[in-house]
């Protein structure tokens, strides 16, 4: 359920950023300004958009690393539990009551 909520958030964020960028570009193209001014505005906005994309990537990357660490920890715990279980069963099998070694 949490994954679905996270996906919805990122989808909404991406849609918002794409819409904002599109609106900005359309506004610049139809606004009365010289070509030089228009190119400067587009360049500045592209730099800002790049910064926002980098920040979003960094955030996603950190969250992914955090998730991977949790998966590794839980997997390691699960493996340890399985090993303990197998070892106890092996000991129980090798040392059954009534074996001749116990007599």
- Residue 1, pLDDT above cutoff 50: no
User: How confident is the model over 5-34, as a mean pLDDT?
Assistant: 79
Q: Is residue 101 part of a domain?
A: no
Pairwise pLDDT comparison (81 vs 97), residue with the higher score: 81
Structure tokens at 57: 């990537």
In this prediction the pTM is: 0.46
Q: Is residue 103, in this structure, part of any structural domain at all?
A: no
Q: Cα–Cα distance between 27 and 44 in angstroms, integer?
A: 14
- 83 domain-assigned: yes
pLDDT at 103: 47
Report the chain's terminal Cα–Cα distance, integer Å: 58
Look at residue 80 and tell me if it is in a domain: yes
Q: Is residue 64 part of a domain?
A: yes
Q: Which band of pLDDT confidence, cut at 50, 70 and 90, is reported for residue 76? A: very high
53 located within any domain: yes
The total number of structural domains that make up the chain: 1
Q: What would the pLDDT profile of 26-48 be if each residue is shown by its tens digit?
A: 877 777 777 788 788 888 888 88
**Domain of 79?**
2-96
């Amino acid at each position: 359920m949490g994954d679905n909520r996270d996906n919805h958030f990122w989808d909404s964020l991406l849609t918002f950023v794409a819409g904002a960028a599109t609106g900005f570009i359309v506004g610049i193209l139809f606004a009365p300004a010289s070509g030089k001014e228009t190119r400067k505005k587009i360049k500045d906005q592209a730099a800002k958009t790049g910064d926002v994309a980098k920040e979003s990537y960094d955030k996603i990357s950190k969250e992914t690393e955090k998730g991977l660490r949790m998966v590794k920890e839980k997997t390691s715990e699960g493996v340890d539990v399985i090993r303990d279980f197998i070892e106890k069963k092996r000991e129980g099998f090798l040392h059954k009551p009534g074996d001749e070694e116990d007599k």
